[in-house]
């Protein structure tokens, strides 16, 4: 069997699937990280793998944007009270 290669792109995320005689390789490329999995074909459906996203980048950006917005509102209110 020849090697089959599939590519999927959505926004800044791209996935690449490579199917060979013995294995299935999955490569995921995002802005913040690159991941790769290799699974033997005989293990598909028999072994379950669960992965949890442990990156805190999104939460950090949301919190910093919220604090900046709050600081901006407080600065505008303080400026209005001086008039």
Model pLDDT for residues 24-59, shown as the tens digit of each residue: 888 998 887 888 888 888 877 776 666 666 667 778
Adjacent-strand bridge partners of 6: 17
Longest alpha-carbon distance in the chain: 78
What pTM did the predictor assign?
0.53
Cβ(37)–Cβ(56) under 8 Å?
A: no
Direct distance between the N- and C-terminal alpha carbons of the chain, in angstroms, rounded to an integer: 78
Question: Is the pLDDT score of 13 beyond 70?
Answer: yes
- Given this model, what pLDDT does residue 53 score? 63
Q: Express as a percent the part of the chain with pLDDT over 90.
A: 34
Where does the pLDDT of residue 78 fall: very low under 50, low under 70, confident under 90, or very high at 90 and above?
A: confident
With a CB cutoff of 8 Å and minimum separation 6, the contacts of 28 are: 13, 14, 15, 16, 34, 35, 36
Adjacent-strand bridge partners of 9: 14
Residue 13 CA to residue 34 CA, distance in Å, equals: 10
Question: Which two tokens mark 50?
Answer: 């669960």
- Given this model, what pLDDT does residue 41 score? 83
């Amino acid at each position: 069997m020849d090697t089959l290669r599939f590519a999927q792109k959505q926004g800044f995320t791209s996935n690449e699937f490579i199917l060979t005689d013995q294995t299935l390789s999955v490569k995921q490329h995002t802005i913040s990280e690159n991941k790769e999995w290799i699974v033997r074909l005989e293990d598909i459906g028999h072994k379950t793998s669960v992965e949890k996203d442990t990156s805190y980048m999104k939460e950090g950006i949301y919190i910093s944007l919220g604090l900046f917005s709050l600081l901006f509102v407080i600065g505008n209110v303080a400026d209005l009270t001086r008039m």
